[in-house]
Amino acid sequence: MSERFGVRAVCGKARRGAFRARQGTFETPTFMPVGTRASVKGVDVERLAEVGASVMLVNTYHLWLRPGAERISRLGGIHAFTGWKGQILSDSGGFQVFSLKGMRTLTEQGIEFRSHLDGSRQFLSPEVSVRVQQTLGVDIAMALDECPSSDLPFGQLEESLDLTFRWAKRSLDARSDPGMCIFGITQGGCHRELRTRAAQQIASLPFDGFAIGGLSVGEPKGSMYEVLRYHVDQLPPGSIHYLMGVGTPEDIVEAVSQGVDIFDCVMPTRAGRFGRVFVEGEPPFFNIKNSRFAEDSSPIDPGCACVACRTYSRAYVHYLFKVGEMLGPQLASIHNLSHYLSLMSRIRSSIEGGSFDALYASIKARWASLDLHELA
């Protein structure tokens, strides 16, 4: 069992636990709102705390390039800079760099790329990534990995996986702040042989937690679920398990049922900015911009206690979107985050009470046969 993570209850493979990092202990399973540029779009930190968030994710690549890790450090570190008093997890910056197709060169040492801001040449290595995350002052850092497209040939995915392992060792060696946790990442596409090797390799290193990368990046949902059914079991059982970049409430309960503990995704705030709101009942989401809500005096979700639902009507939020007032996307984003964090609370309670299977079945039934392109 990890010194930082403890499992308090189980229901099948689903786990109710707690993880201790620099800012204290947070409960799992949990969901991390994504604050790409040190800000969750349209949502201030007081609202984040109010809806139940305990961990915020920030983007190393963007903060490194602007305003710069050193400047943030001079201003007191990432917590003082953002005003967020909870835990902060940072990605490694690798995914953003690998997204710069045609603007990067990969070598054993790292990645040379051109900044999307001004075209300047930059170099990201495991050592640079960890140094930047330490300078920011985050609580949990991610090891630098290569995140290849899942449809690459087996041989290229194998080479990429071996590079990720070598970079993982270098990331660990680069950490000089013992108070900062660091998580390793598995890759391997949807190939069981490569995922198995990734789990064996990464588990051999003394990481504080283990993340599953390279899923929800374009592969069919069924393929992601199939990987989760065997791959989570391959990770160290006494450590926290993090599924990166996922997903819908259906995806979350599916992953929790396989032993995943922590999630992040831009979906609740991105959907909110376009007027798509998550609710209890059927269908599990709708677009508040639809004309049928123009005279609907009920809250977005009658069972929700967020500021959007306890103060405003569907008609008012609909009107805000129609006239282009920024408050509309803000309220929808706050509500969606509240929906996600409330779901995580219900998941934790159901695991403790032995009723997770019933919650799982109800959510799966509500999301069955939906056209998820509406959330894109």
Say whether 301 is catalytic. Answer: no
Select which of 139, 145, 208, 264 is catalytic: 264
Task: Enumerate the H helices of the chain as residue ranges.
Answer: 45-50, 60-65, 69-74, 78-82, 94-98, 126-136, 154-174, 192-203, 221-234, 249-256, 267-273, 307-311, 314-322, 327-353, 356-367
Q: 20-60: per-residue pLDDT in tens? A: 999 999 999 999 999 999 999 999 999 999 999 999 999 99
pLDDT: is 94 or 350 the higher one? 350
Q: 225-254: per-residue pLDDT in tens? A: 999 999 999 999 999 999 999 999 999 999
What domains can you pick out in the chain, each with its CATH number? Answer: 11-265 (3.20.20.105), 272-362 (no CATH)
**pTM for this prediction:** 0.97
Q: Quick one: which of 85, 108, 111, 84 has its CA closest to 98?
A: 111
Q: What is the mean pLDDT of residues 180-208?
A: 97
- Using a pLDDT cut of 90, give the percent of the chain over it: 90
- Using a pLDDT cut of 70, give the percent of the chain over it: 99
Helix, strand, or coil (residue 2) = coil
Q: In degrees rounded to 5, what are phi and psi of residue 242?
A: -120, 120
Select which of 91, 145, 261, 301 is catalytic: 91
Residue 373 has pLDDT above 90, yes or no: no
Say whether 91 is catalytic. Answer: yes
Q: 77-132: per-residue pLDDT in tens? A: 999 999 999 999 999 998 888 888 778 999 999 999 999 999 999 999 999 999 99
Helix axis angle for 221-234 and 192-203, nearest 10°, is 40
